[in-house]
Amino acid sequence: MADDPHAIFEEWLAEAQLSEVNDPTAMALATVNAQGQPSVRMVLMKGHDARGFVFYTNMDSRKGGDLAANPRAGLLFHWKSLRRQVRVEGPVEPVSAEEADAYFATRGRDSQLGAWASDQSRPLDARATFEARFEAVKARFEGGDVPRPPRWSGYRVVAERIELWNDRAHRLHERRLFTRNGQGNWSEGLLFP
Protein backbone atom coordinates (compact mmCIF):
# COMPACT_ATOMS: atom_id res chain seq x y z
CA MET A 1 0.00 0.00 0.00
CA ALA A 2 2.98 2.33 0.53
CA ASP A 3 3.12 5.31 -1.81
CA ASP A 4 5.35 8.36 -1.61
CA PRO A 5 3.57 10.80 0.74
CA HIS A 6 5.52 13.75 -0.69
CA ALA A 7 4.18 12.99 -4.19
CA ILE A 8 0.63 12.75 -2.83
CA PHE A 9 1.16 16.04 -0.97
CA GLU A 10 2.26 17.74 -4.21
CA GLU A 11 -0.91 16.50 -5.97
CA TRP A 12 -3.11 17.74 -3.12
CA LEU A 13 -1.28 21.09 -3.00
CA ALA A 14 -1.81 21.57 -6.75
CA GLU A 15 -5.54 20.98 -6.24
CA ALA A 16 -5.58 23.38 -3.27
CA GLN A 17 -3.89 26.08 -5.35
CA LEU A 18 -6.87 25.89 -7.72
CA SER A 19 -9.60 25.79 -5.08
CA GLU A 20 -8.45 27.64 -1.94
CA VAL A 21 -9.43 31.31 -1.88
CA ASN A 22 -6.43 32.43 0.21
CA ASP A 23 -2.98 31.05 0.91
CA PRO A 24 -3.08 27.34 0.00
CA THR A 25 0.46 27.14 1.40
CA ALA A 26 -0.67 28.34 4.85
CA MET A 27 0.18 25.86 7.57
CA ALA A 28 -0.14 25.78 11.33
CA LEU A 29 3.30 25.39 12.91
CA ALA A 30 3.42 23.90 16.41
CA THR A 31 6.56 24.16 18.54
CA VAL A 32 7.43 23.56 22.20
CA ASN A 33 9.84 25.67 24.26
CA ALA A 34 12.45 24.44 26.75
CA GLN A 35 9.85 24.46 29.56
CA GLY A 36 7.44 22.29 27.54
CA GLN A 37 5.03 25.16 26.75
CA PRO A 38 3.45 24.56 23.33
CA SER A 39 2.79 27.34 20.83
CA VAL A 40 1.09 27.28 17.46
CA ARG A 41 0.83 29.92 14.72
CA MET A 42 0.15 30.16 11.01
CA VAL A 43 3.11 30.45 8.64
CA LEU A 44 3.51 30.06 4.89
CA MET A 45 5.30 27.08 3.38
CA LYS A 46 7.92 28.45 0.99
CA GLY A 47 9.34 25.18 -0.26
CA HIS A 48 8.68 21.47 -0.30
CA ASP A 49 10.52 18.44 -1.61
CA ALA A 50 11.54 15.01 -0.36
CA ARG A 51 13.84 16.70 2.19
CA GLY A 52 10.94 18.44 3.95
CA PHE A 53 8.74 21.50 4.33
CA VAL A 54 10.40 24.95 4.47
CA PHE A 55 9.35 28.22 6.12
CA TYR A 56 11.24 31.43 6.94
CA THR A 57 11.31 33.67 10.01
CA ASN A 58 13.35 35.83 12.33
CA MET A 59 15.47 33.36 14.30
CA ASP A 60 15.03 35.52 17.44
CA SER A 61 11.22 35.20 17.23
CA ARG A 62 9.31 33.03 19.67
CA LYS A 63 9.24 30.17 17.14
CA GLY A 64 12.97 30.57 16.55
CA GLY A 65 13.62 30.36 20.30
CA ASP A 66 11.40 27.32 20.61
CA LEU A 67 13.22 25.57 17.76
CA ALA A 68 16.63 26.41 19.25
CA ALA A 69 15.55 24.74 22.51
CA ASN A 70 13.60 21.87 20.99
CA PRO A 71 14.29 21.35 17.25
CA ARG A 72 11.10 19.41 16.47
CA ALA A 73 7.81 20.65 15.05
CA GLY A 74 4.37 19.71 13.85
CA LEU A 75 2.64 21.16 10.80
CA LEU A 76 -1.00 21.14 9.74
CA PHE A 77 -2.36 22.08 6.33
CA HIS A 78 -6.15 22.41 6.26
CA TRP A 79 -7.75 22.80 2.87
CA LYS A 80 -11.39 23.37 3.71
CA SER A 81 -12.53 23.59 0.08
CA LEU A 82 -11.12 20.10 -0.56
CA ARG A 83 -12.17 18.74 2.84
CA ARG A 84 -8.61 17.52 3.40
CA GLN A 85 -5.82 18.05 5.83
CA VAL A 86 -2.19 16.99 6.07
CA ARG A 87 -0.31 16.59 9.35
CA VAL A 88 3.49 16.48 9.41
CA GLU A 89 5.81 15.79 12.36
CA GLY A 90 9.58 15.61 12.58
CA PRO A 91 12.88 17.22 13.45
CA VAL A 92 13.72 20.69 12.22
CA GLU A 93 16.96 21.79 10.60
CA PRO A 94 18.12 25.17 9.31
CA VAL A 95 18.18 25.74 5.57
CA SER A 96 21.52 26.69 4.02
CA ALA A 97 22.56 30.34 3.84
CA GLU A 98 22.35 30.05 0.04
CA GLU A 99 18.73 28.86 0.21
CA ALA A 100 17.81 31.64 2.65
CA ASP A 101 19.55 34.29 0.51
CA ALA A 102 17.82 33.04 -2.64
CA TYR A 103 14.37 33.10 -1.05
CA PHE A 104 14.94 36.50 0.64
CA ALA A 105 15.83 37.98 -2.76
CA THR A 106 12.36 37.00 -4.08
CA ARG A 107 10.47 38.87 -1.36
CA GLY A 108 8.93 42.26 -2.04
CA ARG A 109 11.12 45.19 -1.03
CA ASP A 110 8.82 46.30 1.81
CA SER A 111 8.83 42.73 3.19
CA GLN A 112 12.64 42.74 3.04
CA LEU A 113 12.76 46.08 4.85
CA GLY A 114 10.23 44.86 7.41
CA ALA A 115 12.50 41.93 8.26
CA TRP A 116 15.20 44.45 9.22
CA ALA A 117 12.85 46.77 11.11
CA SER A 118 11.03 44.16 13.20
CA ASP A 119 12.14 42.51 16.43
CA GLN A 120 9.58 39.80 15.74
CA SER A 121 7.63 38.57 18.79
CA ARG A 122 9.23 41.13 21.11
CA PRO A 123 7.09 43.68 23.02
CA LEU A 124 6.37 46.89 21.09
CA ASP A 125 5.57 50.10 23.00
CA ALA A 126 3.69 51.75 20.13
CA ARG A 127 3.03 51.17 16.43
CA ALA A 128 4.80 54.48 15.73
CA THR A 129 8.06 52.95 17.01
CA PHE A 130 7.91 50.20 14.40
CA GLU A 131 6.91 52.62 11.64
CA ALA A 132 9.85 54.91 12.50
CA ARG A 133 12.23 51.94 12.41
CA PHE A 134 10.80 50.91 9.04
CA GLU A 135 11.39 54.40 7.63
CA ALA A 136 14.96 54.44 9.00
CA VAL A 137 15.72 51.08 7.37
CA LYS A 138 14.11 52.26 4.15
CA ALA A 139 16.44 55.28 4.11
CA ARG A 140 19.46 53.11 5.00
CA PHE A 141 18.99 50.86 1.96
CA GLU A 142 17.70 53.55 -0.43
CA GLY A 143 18.95 52.94 -3.95
CA GLY A 144 20.45 49.51 -3.29
CA ASP A 145 19.58 45.90 -2.73
CA VAL A 146 18.33 44.85 0.69
CA PRO A 147 20.52 42.03 2.02
CA ARG A 148 19.12 39.27 4.20
CA PRO A 149 19.36 40.20 7.91
CA PRO A 150 21.81 37.99 9.82
CA ARG A 151 19.09 36.69 12.20
CA TRP A 152 16.56 35.93 9.45
CA SER A 153 16.58 32.50 7.84
CA GLY A 154 14.62 29.38 7.14
CA TYR A 155 13.85 26.05 8.72
CA ARG A 156 13.04 22.69 7.16
CA VAL A 157 10.70 20.28 8.93
CA VAL A 158 12.05 16.84 8.01
CA ALA A 159 9.01 14.61 7.97
CA GLU A 160 9.10 11.44 10.03
CA ARG A 161 5.30 11.14 10.03
CA ILE A 162 2.82 12.38 7.43
CA GLU A 163 -0.89 11.85 7.88
CA LEU A 164 -3.22 12.39 4.93
CA TRP A 165 -6.81 12.98 6.06
CA ASN A 166 -9.85 12.89 3.77
CA ASP A 167 -13.28 13.92 4.97
CA ARG A 168 -16.01 11.32 4.57
CA ALA A 169 -19.74 11.38 5.28
CA HIS A 170 -20.92 10.76 8.84
CA ARG A 171 -17.41 11.39 10.20
CA LEU A 172 -16.20 8.10 8.69
CA HIS A 173 -13.01 9.82 7.54
CA GLU A 174 -10.06 8.20 5.80
CA ARG A 175 -6.71 8.60 7.56
CA ARG A 176 -3.51 7.32 5.93
CA LEU A 177 -0.39 7.46 8.10
CA PHE A 178 3.08 7.32 6.56
CA THR A 179 6.07 6.77 8.88
CA ARG A 180 9.71 6.88 7.89
CA ASN A 181 11.98 4.11 9.13
CA GLY A 182 15.69 4.40 10.01
CA GLN A 183 16.71 3.72 6.41
CA GLY A 184 14.58 6.60 5.12
CA ASN A 185 11.88 4.40 3.60
CA TRP A 186 8.17 5.02 4.13
CA SER A 187 5.68 2.54 5.51
CA GLU A 188 1.96 3.14 5.34
CA GLY A 189 -0.96 2.23 7.53
CA LEU A 190 -4.46 3.37 8.30
CA LEU A 191 -5.82 5.03 11.43
CA PHE A 192 -9.35 4.81 12.79
CA PRO A 193 -11.25 8.05 12.15
Of 150, 121, 158, 153, the closest CA to residue 56 belongs to: 153
DSSP E strand stretches across 95-171 = 152-157, 161-166
What is the phi/psi pair of residue 33, to 5°? -85, -175
Is 171 tagged catalytic? yes
DSSP string, 81-103: GGTEEEEEEEEEEEPPHHHHHHH
159/87 Cα distance (integer angstroms): 10
Contacts of 107 (CB under 8 A, 6+ apart): 115
Active-site option among 51, 148, 156, 171: 171
The answer to whether the CB of 43 falls within 8 A of the CB of 27 is yes
C-alpha 2/C-alpha 27 separation (Å) is: 25
Q: Which residues are tagged catalytic?
A: 171
